[in-house]
Chains A and B, each alone.
Chain A
Amino acid sequence: MTFALELSYWQSTILRIVGVLVAVLIPAGTLVYVFLFKMMSHMQSRLGPMEAGPHGSLQLMAEVGKFLQKEDIVPTKADRTLFTLAPYLVVGTVLLVYLAVPFGPDAYFADLDTGVFYLLAVSSVSVIGVLVAGWASANKYSLMGGLRAAGQLIAYELPMVLAVVGVVIQAGSLNLQHIVSVQAHGEIFGWGGIGNPFILTQIVGFGIFLLATQAELTQTPFDMPIAESELVAGYMTEYSGMRFLLFFIGEFASAGAFAAVAATLFLGGWWLPGFGFDNNAMNIVGPLVMVGKMMFVAFLIFWFRFTYPRFREDQLQTLAWKYLIPLSLVNIMATAVLKVVF
């Protein structure tokens, strides 16, 4: 007897959204958070959170508890509607990014034919939330932070898209599942042991993508929008309590989201060498592999963050327009030529 559950479109949509929420809040939230907090603490030769749970592993829970108790302050002159909306906009877009990332042959939320396009489009929406937050706070520091974030996003969206174009050319598809499959079935000079993760051929693209990610996430050295020594906390200055927590989670979760995108595009996604591509076990192993690769990329992102001082606004624009964009254009050209030649 087969147990067939007929779901209407909206029912399956809700189930998927709940799935994304669980997938984001538990692995991407807690794991990324704990891993990165401990990592950066040790990098700065200190212990970091130690009290909540074994070795501070429940720190996120403790902080959620703390922020829930805080008073939720809205400044008198703030635009109430926009002020309340902004953090949800930021966190919401992060969840939308996870929607398209495949975690296994069948473990995905949505298999979009234009997955790459969708990812890049959605990931840039979050800056609208930031801009809204900066504008609605009625605070000069917030406004400057929001405007800086907008300028930064426009500058770094381009190199990011252009870096991904190289991958798309090489894979010949915009479908993320197909990109993973191409990497899994690829061969390095006739040897298919580890497939052909695009980091090998698109190393320039990977570098540009990481740099642009750093800027999109407003992490040091590109953290002018929240530069704490200049703008107090930038667009987050007026936020407190639950809304601040949402921004905070959004920051770490979007680091995880971009790491997932980078892992899919450049590191071979959920595929593990030695397993068959359509092996059913990959639905269990795949997410773990994916999380491991995500952590690696997130480690890189936060390593940069805790090593470098920040740029000035004009230096950041110079880097994007004068160096990264021309370099990524050259990369696209070289990829296209080599694709035709081989």
Chain B
Amino acid sequence: MTAISERQQRGYIGAIAAEARVNVELETEGMTLNIGPQHPATHGTLRIIAKLDGEQVVSAEPVMGYMHRGYEKLVEVRTFPQVTTLINRIDWLGNFANEVPFILAAEQLMEIEAPARAQYIRTIFFELSRQANLMLFLGDMGVQLGAITAVFYAFRDREHVLNLMESVTGGRFHPNFDRIGGLKDDLPKGWVEECKGAMVKVRRFCDEIEELLMGNEIFETRTRGIGVIPAEVALGYGLSGANLRASGVDWDLRRDNDYPLAWKDADFKVWTHPDGDSFARYWVRLQEVRESTKIVDQLIENIPAGPIMAKVPRIIKVPAGEAWVSTENPLGEMGYYVVSKGDLGPFRVKIRTASFNNISIVPWVMRGVYVPDVITILASLYFILGDIDR
């Protein structure tokens, strides 16, 4: 063992001391950056308190509730058929999909079931609202990364889907079409052909956006390896939907649950991605839109004939009881826990929305990332403000 001479030792200590002095001199004060409530990237009023060291995030904390509209309380003073008007507005892009689980829960309590034709049309509209929702995400992700052209294409092609919904329900954003025991109206003449054409256009949009945005090298360098969420963490935070599937968890309520809806008659693949990063989340959603068009194509071929409304009393009174129904909405698992005391309206409704849980992983996933990556991760987690705060 070589002994260190005293001179060497002094030199060594001196070097350490100099380094410490430099570190103290270069140490910068942390900065607190308030991202939101008014900020373009939060597309709504989400606030994220980010503590920064330079451009690096030390800690980030989401503050929710700026858009709380009290829907759970409001539905208590409404009758069952009136509730769909409100819950349409929870996830305003996946409009029709919000109505379905609530109506299913009410039907479960009343022990009635809608006729097969109604179930098919419900499923088709469920998938259409999924497409309308996720197509906007596919474009919006580009905007958050600086490629503003993609979103215009998304808005343009989403119009095909919205036109389909409008021609049946009369509403582009808030169809309010689902009824306890069936649907408001049947499909108009010629709609089936129109729908097939629109599905081709949606698939073309997917191909286009895949080449334009996802195939772009800058897009890949900005998203690959950014905001990695391992499967166990994703499960721990209660993530659902594409965020969970992008972490490699094969979990889709459409396939795993037993609904009266028509998914069981369609043959579709549940896409997962092993990476769990922002790119994986984008990729999974892109595949989901494609898969969704295939579901619509299959179902629309085999819509059974028959009535669209079951026999329901004129004044709907739901028997006392409790029911929980959740479905695989565009953003993830959305469920309603409905408690009825046998009145015209529900006694209590608990709404489980996907975005609330999806956004709760923000403090975990954003430690140590750079400010631009905060935006990438937020965009790829994909939340709708109405779905967080309801």
Binding partners A and B: yes
The chain A residues found within 8 Å of chain B, CB to CB, are 43-46, 140-141, 144, 220-221, 223-224, 227-230, 232, 306-315
Chain A residues near B213 (CB-CB < 8 A): 309
Q: Return the chain B residue nearest A143 by Cβ.
A: B31
Seen from chain B, the residues whose Cβ lies within 8 Å of a Cβ on chain A are 31, 33, 39-41, 55, 142-149, 152-153, 156, 213, 216, 218-219, 221-222, 370-375, 379
B375 CB contacts on chain A under 8 angstroms: 229-230
How far is B372's CA from A312's CA once the two chains are assembled, in angstroms? Answer: 7
The answer on a CB contact under 8 Å between B218 and A309 is yes
Interchain residue pairs with CB less than 8 A apart (5): A44-B153, A140-B33, A141-B33, A230-B41, A308-B147
- From A44, A230, A315, contact of B221 by CB (8 A): A315
Assess the B146–A44 pair: CB atoms within 8 A: no
A310→B146 contact, CB < 8 A: yes
**Separation of A220 and B219 alpha carbons in the complex (Å):** 13
For A44, the chain B residues whose CB sits under 8 A away are 148-149, 152-153
User: Are A309 and B152 neighbours in the complex by a CB distance under 8 Å?
Assistant: no
On whether A309 and B156 interact (CB within 8 A), knowing A221-B146, A232-B39, the answer reads no
A307 close to B147 (CB less than 8 A)? yes
Chain A residue nearest to B376 (CB atoms) is: A312
Task: Tell me, in angstroms, the Cα distance from A224 to B55 when the chains sit together.
Answer: 12
Which of chain A's residues have a CB closer than 8 A to the CB of B148? 44, 220, 306
Chain B interface, >50% SS class? helix
What residue in chain A is nearest B150 (Cβ atoms)?
A: A309
Question: In the bound complex, what is the Cα–Cα distance between A111 and B11 (angstroms)?
Answer: 60
Bound CA–CA A45/B148 (angstroms) = 12
Is there an interface contact between A227 and B372, defined as CB atoms closer than 8 Å? Answer: yes
Report yes or no: A140 in contact with B31, Cβ–Cβ below 8 A.
yes
- What's the Cα separation between A232 and B143 when bound, in Å? 13
Q: Would B40 and A229 count as touching, CB distance under 8 A?
A: yes
Assuming the A-B contacts A45-B153, A229-B40, A229-B144, are A309 and B371 also in contact, with contact meaning beta carbons closer than 8 angstroms in the complex? no
Chain A residues contacting B221 (CB-CB under 8 Å) are 311-312, 315
- A18 CB, min distance to chain B CBs, angstroms: 37
Are the CB atoms of B41 and A309 closer together than 8 Å?
no
Q: Which residues of B contact A314 (CB under 8 A)?
A: 370
Instruction: With a 10 A CB-CB cut-off, give which of A43, A229, A308 has the most chain B CB atoms.
Output: A229
Once the chains bind, are A312 and B370 in contact (CB under 8 Å)?
A: yes
Measured CA separation A308–B145 after assembly (Å) = 9
Identify which of B55, B146, B156, B218 contacts A229 (C-beta below 8 A). Answer: B146
When the two chains form the complex, which single residue of B31, B144, B146, B149 contacts A43, counting CB atoms closer than 8 Å?
Answer: B149
Shortest CB distance B378–A (Å)? 9
- A230 contacts which chain B residues (CB < 8 A)? 41, 371-372, 374-375
Q: What's the least CB distance linking B152 to chain A, in Å?
A: 4
Q: With a CB–CB cut-off of 8 A, which chain A residues contact B143?
A: 229
Within the complex, which residue of B40, B156, B222, B379 is in contact with A232, where a contact is CB–CB below 8 Å? B40
- Please, how many angstroms separate the alpha-carbon atoms of A302 and B271 in the complex? 37
Inter-chain contacts of A221 with B (CB < 8 A)? 146, 218
The residue in chain B whose Cβ has the minimal distance to the Cβ of A44 is B152
Provided the pairs A140-B33, A144-B55, A144-B371 are in contact, do residues A310 and B149 lie with their beta carbons within 8 angstroms?
Answer: no
**Cβ of A309 and Cβ of B145 under 8 Å apart?**
yes
Closest residue of chain B to A306 (Cβ to Cβ) is: B149
Q: Are A228 and B370 in contact (CB under 8 A)?
A: no
State A229–B377 Cα separation when bound (angstroms): 12
Please state if A309 and B216 are interface contacts (CB–CB under 8 Å): yes
B33→A309 contact, CB < 8 A: no
CA distance A306 to B153 in the complex (A): 12
Bound CA span A224–B152, Å: 21
How many Å lie between the Cα of A45 and that of B205 in the bound state?
Answer: 13
Given A229-B143, A309-B219, A312-B222, 9 other A-B residues pairs in contact with their CB atoms under 8 A? A221-B146, A227-B146, A229-B40, A229-B145, A229-B379, A230-B375, A308-B146, A310-B147, A312-B373
- Distance (whole angstroms) from the CB of B356 to the closest CB of chain A: 23
The docked-state distance in angstroms from the alpha carbon of A311 to that of B221 is 8
Identity of the chain A residue whose Cβ is nearest the Cβ of B378 in the assembled complex: A229
Closest residue to B142 on the A side, CB-wise? A309
Contacts of B147 in A (CB 8 A): 220, 306-310
